[in-house]
Amino acid sequence: MKLRMYPAGNGDAFLISASGANVLIDAGYAQTFDDHIARDLLDLVNRGEQLDLVIASHIDADHISGLIRLLSLNGSTSAPRIAPISDIWHNSLRSLSAEHLTQISNSDRDILNALCRRGHPSPVKEFGADFGEISARQGSSLASLIYEGGYRWNFNDGTASIAIERTSVHSLPGGSVRVIGPTQERLDGFLKWWKRRLRQMGYTGAVGPGEVIDDAFELFCEHVPETAPPSSVSLSAGGHKSLEEVHESDPSTTNGSSITAIVELGGTRVLMLADAWAEDVVNALQVLKSQGCSMMFDAVKVSHHGSLRNTSPELLELIDAPIYLVSTNGVGHGHPDFEVLAAIVDRPADFSRTIFLNYATPASSLLRRHRSRSNTPFRVHENATDWITIGKS
């Protein structure tokens, strides 16, 4: 298996390839797609391959802006201009609500149009510089592009959600993708959160799928700020506390809606955790473990850019891997947290671990000087944006 972790600012963008199958999970910002992902897609098309699955893990600008760029350029599924796409997973309002949307009142439409006029958030602060984001504050939602392009969406037309109760294992050439999150409970909570926000803005109508309300939903979610301030405790306090001392649960509803999965291709397994809540990941994996599924993976993509709110001691007691992937430049939120990185490498193991990061950050610099408490060897590989070979091939 080959995996590429793209330089996506403070976001996520991963392409996984093996056995002729290709899975794209998030795509960072538009500039991430233009400068890095696009040429890899052209390469795979030249090999006679396609994108077998595209996953938008959750609605957050640092994860889906590049996917919006991809579909804007790709056009329709019947005549793709960049790459054929077999399946797309994306939980939009269309996937969450079966409520029938009748005529929208003028006052409600004004509220929705005002949300849409905000457009997509600018990536300037996230990258620390103006990356020239194309139409960053204009354009369509990801949901509308999927729908208008006629793509196979959540196995059909996007009216069903991707959730652990609905979706178990999706077959791919030479492997599969096993969904481990979100739960339907998290998606129901996400919908209730959106309804509550709409009511606070004075919206009085039904909250069901429709072009304007779908767009308003995504654009509003993209603008939702982090619910807690940066949490780089060790770097600000001077001392190094344990993860047990500093871990706290993530309160973000959007992060809790993350699509998480085990990608298995060519006999190699990668645990992709998006920005998921640690407790949800633990619950799902404990069920799989009870069914005989190994908790030793070939690689783990650390949740939420290495935030201490999304990796718990319980999770690290349950899983392990020789490779960990951390995607962020640290801008805006202080990710990754050193406590998470240290907790990963401090555990005893009979193998060496490598922490791959697509940028150098204060925490990764600190980790390079850290010695594992168990004396288990580890390496820190910063600026790891080229292809990474994982497992057997």
Residue ranges and CATH numbers for the domains of the chain are 2-389 (3.60.15.10)
**At 41, phi and psi to the nearest 5?**
-65, -40
pLDDT confidence of residue 234: 46
207 contact partners, CB below 8 Å, separation of at least 6: 93, 97, 99, 101, 191, 194, 195, 198, 213
> What average pLDDT score do residues 276-299 get?
97
Number of residues written out for the chain? 393
The pLDDT value recorded for residue 227 is 57
CA–CA separation, 103 vs 192, rounded Å? 21
What's residue 72's pLDDT? 95
Q: Record the tokens describing residue 157, joined without a space.
A: 């037309």
Residue 101 has pLDDT above 80, yes or no: no
Q: Structure pTM?
A: 0.93
* Secondary structure of the chain as H, E, C letters: CEEEECCCCCCCEEEEEECCEEEEEEECCHHHHHHHHHHHHHHHHHCCCCECEEECCCCCHHHHHHHHHHHHHHCCCCCCCCCCECCEECCCHHHHCCCCCCCCCHHHHHHHHHHHHCCCCCCHHHHCCCCCCCCCCCCCCHHHHHHHCCCCECCEECCCCCCCCCCCEEEECCEEEEEEECCHHHHHHHHHHHHHHHHHCCCCCCCCCCHHHHHHHHHHHHHCCCCCCCCCHHHHHCCCCCHHHHCCCCCCHHHHCCCEEEEEECCEEEEECCCCCHHHHHHHHHHHHHCCCCCECCEEECHHHHCCCCCCHHHHHHCECCEEEECCCCCCCCCCCHHHHHHHHHCCCCCCEEEEECCCCHHHHHHHCCCCCCCCCEEEECCCCCEEECCCC
- Given this model, what pLDDT does residue 129 score? 43
What pLDDT is attached to residue 233? 44
The answer to whether residue 137 scores a pLDDT higher than 50 is no
232, pLDDT greater than 60: no
Report whether 68 contacts 30 (CB < 8 A). Answer: yes
| pLDDT tens-digit readout, 175-192 | 999 999 999 999 999 999
State the pairing for strand pair 21-27/53-55.
parallel
Which pLDDT band, with edges at 50, 70 and 90, does 8 fall under?
very high
Considering the chain, what percentage of its residues have pLDDT values greater than 90?
74
Alpha carbon distance 26, 16 (integer Å) = 11
What would the pLDDT profile of 38-95 be if each residue is shown by its tens digit? 999 999 999 999 999 999 999 988 999 999 999 999 999 999 999 999 999 999 998 9
Question: In whole angstroms, what separates CA 102 from the centre of its chain?
Answer: 33
At 250, the pLDDT band (50, 70, 90 cuts) reads confident
Check whether 382 has a pLDDT greater than 70.
yes
Helices 106-117, 211-223: inter-axial angle, 10-degree rounding = 40
Residue 123's pLDDT band, with cuts at 50, 70 and 90, is low
- pLDDT in the model for residue 155: 94
Tens of pLDDT, residues 145-179: 999 999 999 999 999 999 999 888 999 999 999 99
Confidence of residue 226 (pLDDT cuts 50, 70, 90): low
Average of per-residue pLDDT across 376-381: 98
The closest alpha carbon to 32, from 358, 361, 389, belongs to 358
Residue 332: is its pLDDT beyond 90? no
Q: Which of 210-219, 296-305, 340-349, 352-361 has the lowest mean pLDDT?
A: 210-219
Predicted local confidence at residue 138, as pLDDT: 46
pLDDT at position 264 is 97
Predicted pLDDT of residue 228? 54
Predicted pLDDT of residue 309: 92
